Amino acid sequence: MVILAIGAVVGCSLLKPAQPSHPSRTASESAATATPLQIAEPTAPATATPAPSATPAPTALTSGPKLAIIIDDCGQWLETERGFIALSVPLTLSVLPDVHYTGLIQREAAAGGKGVMLHLPMEAVSGVYPGPGEVTTGMTDAAIRAMVTDDLAQVPLAQGINNHEGSKGSADARVMGDVVDVLVSHGGLFFIDSRTAANSVAEHVAADAGLPTAARDVFLDNQATVAYSEAQLREAIAVAKRTGSAIAIGHPRPTTLQAVRAMLPEIAADGVELVFARDLVIKS
């Protein structure tokens, strides 16, 4: 997988304020208003959803270039996240553990035929708080494994994971070894390196352990404008056509949703097939 340095490598960290209040676990995701980790956005009322399958139907892939779009930070802004689920194309939602709508949005995504991942909070060089369930370099091996196991239990429909923040954690081979060990023990999971740091070892550690893995090529919304996200989608299309595939990561922002929706005809016209993230991992 070719990795492009598109804008700053801090993509997932641009919108974070100082450490937010710590959302508590809740038995019902439809209770009180969530405490988001990023910007506030109106949320739609929770609705009942059909029982989902953990894995959408297999993708019938063509031989042409492929693009996987992952929407990170899910579980906080239902209105926009539901907008992505409503799109009639393969997309993958990466869900944070222990936020207000963790359980609800993964069920809705799976019921809507979208891919589901765990968005694993990991320590950042900046010290920004990535939210509950954080894996840090100061943890013991046992503590890291316990935390990852607990985070996975919060998103049982996850088919794989990628790191949330993690510019420090993903560059630490010991930490990543512990994370990967848990994924291997669960069987059938994959790891995608969000590449929030140029010196990340996450993809290499996962590959060395025989875990299906890949890495992000393009961040879609380091700037919260439709024009910027459309330009980044065109960059992702170019990568896919040049190398055969590309992984783009965006966030539940209305501007990102608008850009993806507007670009669907252009993506198809360019002969690029939208696929799930799981379709682009490399199996050792």
Q: Identify the pLDDT of residue 63.
A: 80
* Inside any domain, residue 27: no
Domain that holds residue 248: 71-280
Q: What are the tokens at 215?
A: 């890495």
* Inside any domain, residue 200: yes
Does 119 have pLDDT greater than 70? yes
- Taking the C-alpha atoms of residue 133 and residue 266, their distance in angstroms, rounded to an integer, is 38
Average pLDDT over residues 43-70: 59
Number of folded domains that form the chain: 1
* Inside any domain, residue 223: yes
Q: What are the tokens at 89?
A: 């194309």
Least confident of 25-29, 122-126, 150-154, 262-266: 25-29
Q: What are the tokens at 116?
A: 């589901």
Residue 258 CA from chain centroid, whole number: 18
Residues 95-122: b if buried by 16+ CB within 10 A, e if exposed: bbbbbbbbbbbbbbbbbbbbbbbbbbbb
- Taking the C-alpha atoms of residue 35 and residue 148, their distance in angstroms, rounded to an integer, is 22
For tokens 């985070």, the residue is 151
Q: Roughly what angle, to the nearest 10 degrees, separates helices 173-186 and 141-154?
A: 50
Average pLDDT over residues 21-48: 32
Average pLDDT over residues 119-130: 97
* Inside any domain, residue 94: yes
* Inside any domain, residue 100: yes
Mean pLDDT of all residues belonging to the chain: 84
CATH number for the domain including 80? 3.20.20.370
* Inside any domain, residue 104: yes
For tokens 């140029």, the residue is 198
- Taking the C-alpha atoms of residue 58 and residue 193, their distance in angstroms, rounded to an integer, is 23
φ, ψ at 134 (rounded to 5°): -65, 135
- pLDDT exceeding 70 applies to what percent of the chain? 78
- pLDDT exceeding 90 applies to what percent of the chain? 76
CA dihedral sign, ordered 269, 235, 214, 113? negative
229-265 residue pLDDT tens: 999 999 999 999 999 999 999 999 999 999 999 999 9
* Inside any domain, residue 120: yes
With beta carbons less than 8 A apart as the criterion, state whether 96 and 75 touch: yes
* Inside any domain, residue 86: yes
Three-state SS sequence of the chain:
CCCCCCCCCCHHHCCCCCCCCCCCCCCCCCCCCCCCCCCCCCCCCCCCCCCCCCCCCCCCCCCCCEEEEEEEEECCCHHHHHHHHHCCCCCEEEECCCCCCHHHHHHHHHHCCCEEEEEEEECCCCCCCCCCCCECCCCCHHHHHHHHHHHHHHCCCCCEEEEEECCCHHHCHHHHHHHHHHHHHHCCCEEEECCCCCCCCHHHHHHHCCCCEEECCEECCCCCCHHHHHHHHHHHHHHHHHHCEEEEEECCCHHHHHHHHHHHHHHHHCCCEEECHHHHCECC
Instruction: Look up the pTM and report it.
Output: 0.81
